[in-house]
Structure 1
C-alpha cells in the first residue's frame, strides 16, 4: 500500500513541478512583454484621458475589446503624455477656459512628473499614489481661485472629471480637508477598478501565451503522467532484478535490447527524468552530454508530427488549462504536498 501511495505521490509532484515551471515561464514572458511595451503605463494614462479629457477622436482610450489589447494598445495608440525632464513649476497652471486644445492630462502630468523618467520620449509613470493625485487636484484648484473655480472650468471644458469632483465637493460640504481626503479615496477606488480591468485582459494574454508555450514544448500532460508511471515501474523492475527476482527481468531486457552495455543503459535510463525526455521533443531542444559541449538541436519534423497528431491534443489542452491557474497556485499546491510551511 505504501509503495502505491509513493507512486502516486511521485506522479503528483512531477506534474505540479512541471506546471509550476511552465507557469513561471509564461509569467516571465508576459512580464517582459509588458515592460517592453509599457502596457501598464498605457493602461493608466488611457484611463486618465477618458476620465479627465473624455473620449478621443477614435472613442475611448481604454481597450473595449480583447483584440485591442493585442493590437491597438501596444502599437497603434499611445495615450501617455510626452516626457518632460524638468521638475514641476512652483505654481500650477490654470485650466483653459475652452475645450480647444485643452488637456487636463498635461496639467496633471505637470504636477507629478518629478517621479517620472522617460521611455522613448513618453512618460513611464505606471502608478500615481492616490494622495499625490489629491494634492495635484488641490494645486489645480488653488491655481483657479478655489474648488468652485476649478469645477466651473471643468464644466466649461466638458471634462468628465467635473461630475466626479462635484460629487466629492458636495459631500465635503465646503471643507477643503474633507474634499482632499474624498478625492484621495475616490481615486484609490478607481485604481482598484482599473487593476481589475487590467487583470481581466491580462488573463486573455496569459491564456494565449500558455497555449504558445505548450505547443512550443509540445508538452502533453497526459503523456508526461504516463511516462512518470512507466519510469516508476521500470525502477521497480530494476530493483526486483537486483534482489534476484528473475521474473522482473523482462521489462529491463525490453528497455535495453540492442545496447552494448546493459549497465550503461540502465544508468542512463534511470538518470534521465521524464520531464527531460519530454522537453527533448520541443521545437528546439538542448542536450547536455556527459562529455563535450551542450548541443542545440532543431526538431522541426518530430515536433510537427507531435503537434499535428490528434492523440496528443487532449494532453495539450490539459497543460494549457493547467497553466491558466498561474505559478502562485501551483507553488501553493507543491508546498502543501511537500509539507512546506509558508513564511510571513
Structure 2
C-alpha cells in the first residue's frame, strides 16, 4: 500500500510537471524566445549595444519575457536565398551600420534557416559553423585574419578583443585559430545556456504556481485519498472481508449496483482529486465527453486555508521538474533507461 502511495504521488507530480514544462515550451516557441535570446547575444558580441546604448541581451528576468517578445526584435530578416558565394568585406568606420557583423554572419549561416513571421528562426549555431563563417569573412579581407581584426577594431566591435586573444594564442596559425574560435564560441554558448536556464526557472516557478492553483492539487489530501483508495481496492479484491461488501453497499445504496461498482472501481484517487479543477472533463460510458465549470467549488477550495499546506507541498514538488519525477517513477517501478 505504501509502495502504491509513492507510485501514485510520483505519477501525479510527473504529470503536472510535464504540463508545466509543456506550457513553458509552448510560450517559448510561440514567442521565439530562444532565437531572440541567441541573436540578442550575437548583437552584443558582434556589433555592441543597440542604438539607444542599451544591451540587446536582457539583464533581468522581466526583460527576457517582456522586452524580447514584444519590444525590440534582435533577429535579422529572413532570406530564402543561399549564402553569397563571396562574402562582402566589412565596411569602414564611416559607412558601418549598427548590424554590420550580424548581417554578414547571417549571410554565412542562412542555409539552415526557415522563415517565422518574416524573421530568422535560427536558435542554435554549431560552433564549427560559426568558426567557418568567421574564416570566410576573414578570407574576404585583403590581409586575411589580420585584416578582419583591423576592421573589427576600426568599427569598435566587441568581438575584436576575443578574436585577438584567440589569434595570439594560436600563434597566427589558421587551423589552430579556427579550432580556437570553435572552443571559444562553444564556451560562450554554454554560458548563454546557463543564463537562459536561470531565467526560465523563474518562469517555471510562476507556471507551477498557476497549475497548482488551477487544479487545486492538494498534495496532502491526495496522499490521504490515495491510501484510503488503495486500502479499499485491496479489500474489494480480497472478497473475503466483510468490510469490502459493507463499503460497497454503503456507497451504492439507492442506485444501480452494477453501474455504481463499475464507477467506484474505475475512478482512482488521481481522477477524483483532479475533479476539483476549475474546469473538469467527464467521459461517460456512452455519449460525448462533457465539460463542467467548477468556478464556485474551485474558489471555495482556493480560499480554504486548510488546503494551503497541501498546495505548498505540490508547488515545491513541481519545482523539482519532470526529469526528477520521471527518475523517481523509474526507480520505484524498476524501469531501466536505455541509451
1:228 aligns with 2:226: yes
Q: CA, structure 1 residues 239+149, in 2 after alignment: closer, same or farther (shift >3 Å)?
A: closer
Distance 2:188 2:216 in 1: 41
1:273 is matched with which residue?
A: 268
Give 1:70 deviation, angstroms: 2.0
Offset, 1:244: 5.3
Report Cα offsets for 1:142-174 as digits up to 9, x if no partner: 112211111111111111000000000101111
Q: Deviations over 1:76-96 (max 9, x none)?
A: 121101111111111111111
1:13 maps to 2:7: yes
Where does 1:236-255 land on structure 2 (aligned, <5 Å)? 236=234, 238=236, 242-243=239-240, 245=242, 251-252=247-248, 255=251
Stretch moving more, 260-269 or 315-324: 260-269
CA contact (8 A) 2:43 2:74 kept: yes
Number of the residue aligned with 1:123: 120
After superposition, the C-alpha distances for 1:183-205 in whole angstroms (9 at most, x for unaligned) are: 11111111111111111111111
> Counterpart of 2:54 in 1: which secondary structure?
coil
Assess, with a 3 A threshold, how the Cα gap between structure 1 residues 237 and 114 changes in structure 2: closer, same or farther.
Answer: closer
Question: 1:237 and 1:35 mapped to 2: Cα distance?
Answer: 49
Structure 2 CA distance, aligned partners of 1:270 and 1:279? 16
Q: Which moved more, 1:128-137 or 1:50-59?
A: 50-59
2:136 to 119, 122, 139: 139
1:237 touches 1:252 (CA, 8 Å); kept in 2?
Answer: no
Residue 281 (structure 2) pairs with residue 286 (structure 1): yes
| Distance in 2, Cα, partners of 1:290 & 1:259 | 20
Distance 1:184-1:244 versus aligned 2 partners, 3 A rule: closer
Q: Which residue does 2:62 correspond to in 1?
A: 67
Moved more, 152-161 or 288-297: 288-297
Instruction: Map 1:147-296 to 2 at 5 A.
Output: 147-236=145-234, 238=236, 242-243=239-240, 245=242, 251-252=247-248, 255-256=251-252, 258-262=253-257, 264-296=259-291
**How many matched pairs?**
335
The secondary structure found in structure 2 opposite 1:168 is helix
Identify unmatched segments of 5+ residues in structure 1: 1-6
Residue aligning to 1:3: none
Question: What is residue 293 of structure 2 aligned with on the other side?
Answer: 298
Residues 115/239 of structure 1: CA separation in 2 closer, same or farther (3 Å cut): closer
Cα root mean square deviation, aligned: 1.8
SS in 2 for 1:127: coil
Partner residue, 1:86: 81
SS in 2 for 1:158: coil
Q: Measure the CA separation in 1 of the matches of 2:197 and 2:6.
A: 29
Using the size of structure 2 for normalisation, the TM-score is 0.93
TM-score (norm: length of structure 1): 0.92
Partner of 1:4: none
Q: Distance in 2 between matches of 1:333 and 1:116?
A: 39
SS in 2 for 1:51: helix
Q: Which residue of 2 aligns with 1:330?
A: 325
User: Structure 2 CA distance, aligned partners of 1:98 and 1:201?
Assistant: 36
CA distance in 1, matches of 2:213, 2:240: 42
**Contact 1:30 / 1:206 at 8 angstroms: preserved in 2?**
yes
Q: Which residue of structure 2 aligns with residue 109 of structure 1?
A: 106
Hey, which bits of structure 1, 4+ residues long, moved more than 6 A?
A: none
- Higher mean Cα deviation, 265-274 or 32-41? 265-274
1:236 & 1:182 partners in 2: Cα distance? 65
